Chain A
Amino acid sequence: MKTIKYIVQKEIKQIMRNRGMLPIIFVMPLLQLIILSNAATFEVNNIRISYIDNDQTSISRELISKFEASEYFSVSEMYRSKKDADDALKKGEIDVVLDIPRYFERDLVRNKHNSLAVYLNAIDGAKAGVENVYLNQVVRDFNRKISLEIIQPEDKMLKQMNILSIPSFWYNETLNYKTFMVPGILVLLVTMLSLFLSGMNIVREKEIGTLEQINVTPIKKHQFIIGKLFPFWVLGMIILTVGLIIARLIFNVPIVGNIGLIYLFTAVYLLVILGMGLFISNYTDTQQQAMFIAWFFMVVFILMSGLFTPIESMPDWAQKITLLNPIRYFVEVIRMVMLKGSGLGDILWQFGVMSFFAVVLNALAVWSYRKTN
Chain B
Amino acid sequence: MFKRFKGFVNKEFYHIFRDKRSMIILFGMPIVQILLFGFAITNEINNVEVAILDKSADSETEVIINKINASPYFNIESEVQSEKEIGEVFRKGKVKAVLVFEKDFANNLQVLNQANVQVITDATDPNTANTISNYVQSILQHHSEEINLQNEVPYKVEVRSQMFYNPELKSVFNFVPGVMTVILMLVSAMMTSISITREKEQGTMEILLVSPLKPIQVVVGKVFPYIFLSVINAVIILLLGFVVFQVPVEGSLVLLALESVLFIITALSLGVLISTIAATQQAALMISLMGLMLPVILLSGFIFPISSMPVPLQVLSNIIPAKWFIIILKGIMLKGVGIAFLWKETLVLIAMALVFIGISVKKYKIRLE
CB contact between B117 and one of A160, A164, A189, A291 (< 8 Å): that residue: A164
* Contact yes or no, B165 A122, CB < 8 A: yes
B59 within 8 A of A: no
The answer to whether A162 and B36 touch across the interface, beta carbons within 8 angstroms, is: no
Asked if B163 contacts A122 (CB within 8 A), the reply is yes
Contacts of A91 in B (CB 8 A): 337, 341
From 328 to 358 in chain A, residues with beta carbon under 8 angstroms from any chain B beta carbon are 332, 335-336, 339-343, 346
For B169, give its contact among A122, A185, A295 (CB under 8 Å).
Answer: A122
> CB-CB < 8 A to B140: which residues of A?
163-165
With an 8 A cutoff between CB atoms, is B157 at the interface? yes
Within 8 Å of chain A (Cβ to Cβ): is B219? no
CA distance A314 to B29 in the complex (A): 20
Whether B32 sits at the interface, judged by CB under 8 Å, is yes
Q: Which residues of the other chain, B, contact A156 by a CB distance below 8 angstroms?
A: 151
Residue in B96, B134, B141, B298 whose CB lies within 8 Å of A39 = B298
Is there contact, CB below 8 Å, between A172 and B44?
Answer: no
A contact residues around B168 at 8 Å (CB): 125
Pairwise interchain contact A175-B129, C-beta atoms closer than 8 A = yes
Expressed in whole angstroms, the minimum distance between the Cβ of A102 and any Cβ of chain B is 15
B211 at the interface (CB under 8 A from A): no
Kindly state the separation between the CA atoms of A197 and B168 in the bound complex, as whole angstroms. Answer: 43
Please give the distance in Å from B327's CB to the nearest CB on chain A. Answer: 6
User: In the bound complex, do residue B157 and residue A308 qualify as a contact, i.e. CB atoms below 8 Å apart?
Assistant: no
Answer whether A192 and B190 are a contact pair too, CB < 8 Å, given A24-B283, A44-B308, A313-B42: no
Q: Give the most central of A142, A177, A200, A310: most B CB within 10 Å.
A: A310
**In the complex the two chains form, is A116's CB within 8 Å of B157's CB?**
yes
The docked-state distance in angstroms from the alpha carbon of A142 to that of B159 is 12
CB closest chain-A residue, reference B291: A28
- A312 CA to B47 CA, complexed, in Å: 7
CA distance A197 to B33 in the complex (A): 24
Contact of B91 among A32, A192, A300, A342 (CB under 8 A): A342
Q: A122 touching B164 by the CB < 8 A rule?
A: yes
Residue of A nearest to B130 (CB): A175
How many residue pairs at the A-B interface have CB separations less than 8 Å?
Answer: 383
CB distance from A209 to the nearest CB of B (A): 11
> Of B26, B42, B173, B174, which one neighbours A314 at CB under 8 angstroms?
B42
Query: A200 to chain B: which residues have CB within 8 Å?
Result: 281-282, 285
B259 interface residue per 8 A CB criterion: no
The yes or no answer to A121 lying at the interface (CB within 8 A) is yes
Assess whether B162 is in contact with A119, with CB atoms less than 8 Å apart. Answer: yes
Q: Are B124 and A180 in touch, CB under 8 angstroms?
A: yes
Given that A36-B294, A159-B151 are known contacts, is A310 also in contact with B166, CB under 8 Å in the complex?
no
Assuming A36-B295, A310-B128, is B290 touching A90 (CB within 8 A)? Answer: no
| Nearest-CB residue, chain A, relative to B144 | A163
- Check B119 for interface membership: any CB of A closer than 8 A: yes
Q: Across the interface, which residues of A come within 8 angstroms of B84, CB to CB?
A: none
Chain A positions within 8 Å of B173 at CB level = 123, 125
Please give, as numbers and ranges, the residues of chain B lying within 8 Å of A196 by CB-CB distance.
285-286, 289-290
Partner of A204, one of B163, B282, B298: B282
28 A–B contacts, CB within 8 A, in A order: A32-B295, A38-B309, A42-B308, A43-B126, A44-B305, A44-B308, A45-B308, A92-B327, A114-B158, A119-B164, A122-B165, A135-B159, A143-B156, A164-B114, A165-B140, A171-B123, A175-B123, A175-B130, A180-B125, A196-B286, A295-B293, A296-B25, A298-B289, A300-B36, A335-B125, A336-B124, A340-B122, A342-B93
Residue positions of B touching A, CB distance < 8 A = 19, 21-22, 25-26, 28-29, 32-33, 36-37, 39-49, 64, 86, 90-93, 96, 109-110, 113-131, 133-134, 136-138, 140-141, 143-144, 147-148, 151, 153-171, 173-174, 182, 186, 190-191, 194-195, 198, 278-283, 285-287, 289-291, 293-295, 297-299, 303-305, 307-310, 313, 316-317, 327, 330-331, 334-335, 337, 341
